[in-house]
Amino acid sequence: MKKWLKRLLLFGIIVMVLGFLGSLLSRLPVGDRVAVIKVKGAIIEPDRIVSKIQKAKEDKSVKALVLRVDSPGGSVGASQEIYRALEDFKSSGKPLVVSMGNVSASGGYYISAPADLIFANPGTITGSIGVIVQHTELKDLLEKLGIRTTAIKTGKFKDTLSPFRDLTPEEKEYLQKTIEDAYEQFLQAILKYRSKKISEQKLREIADGRVFTGRVAKELGLVDELGNLQDAINRAKQMAGVPEARVFYMEDRRGFIRKLMEEGFEGFGGDYPLMLYYLMR
């Protein structure tokens, strides 16, 4: 048998064995677990986070969820997607604890609000409760460069926020009403779960975009406890009544073959045909 064919067969056998072992292990009882889901960076594409939350809800071995939030915020819609998924998780009766990292502001705080308990470090930056729409106007600069633009549109608001012209007073009024509606939704989302810890009057006083340290946020009632991720995990175990539960980090996982190709053959610089050529020599 040719040398390359032997190597290819060996490679195939290894993949089959690993796949079989993975399938076998997935059927074994895993015991009680506390799941940890990380939300890191801007909240723009919520699908993967929502999917993980749903899996944690459906997994009978998961007795509690810790959401680790390290985000400066993001879009309103994406934050609401995660918020709603967390509400759905809570319907299972499993405890939900949030652990704030370096920053948990704006949308990062939005998705933290449904938690049964919120932990923050004393120096965590949180708050920034508000909504913003920004407009950059380049008309004068482009005119100096001899560049002119024309918009053909179906309605007077269709090119609102275009950088090629000023906003009209009517557009400014329309945008202000839009963000005020989103802002009101933000406030009500917080009050739905934290009205016993911070009054609506107090929330409106401080919800002007300013940020707070974790220590000040605790004094205001925006967070419940000062502590790190491990403190949040320990409390989640206690709340779920599973002190010996294992911690399960729900990281993004790639298929074995893809991971092998991307990481196991770094010497080939990600050149898959080159890798297969050397495998078959």
Catalytic residue among 55, 156, 158, 172: 158
| Residue 65 near residue 89 (C-beta atoms within 8 A) | yes
Burial of 245 (0-12, 13-18, 19+ CB in 10 A): buried
User: How far is 22 from 25, CA to CA, in rounded Å?
Assistant: 5
Mark whether 259 is an active-site residue: no
Q: Is the dihedral of CA 163, 168, 169, 175 positive or negative?
A: negative
Residue type, 265: F
Residue with tokens 């809800």: 57
Count Cβ neighbours within 10 Å for each residue of 92-109 and write b for 16 or more, e otherwise: eebbbbbbbbebbbbbbb
Across-strand partners of 119?
Answer: 99, 225
Mark whether 106 is an active-site residue: yes
Residue with tokens 């997935």: 26
Question: What six digits make up the tokens of 151?
Answer: 């918009």
Please give the backbone phi and psi of residue 81, each rounded to the nearest 5 degrees, phi first: -60, -45
User: How far is 46 from 114, CA to CA, in rounded Å?
Assistant: 16
Catalytic residue among 79, 106, 112, 128: 106
Positions marked active-site: 106, 158
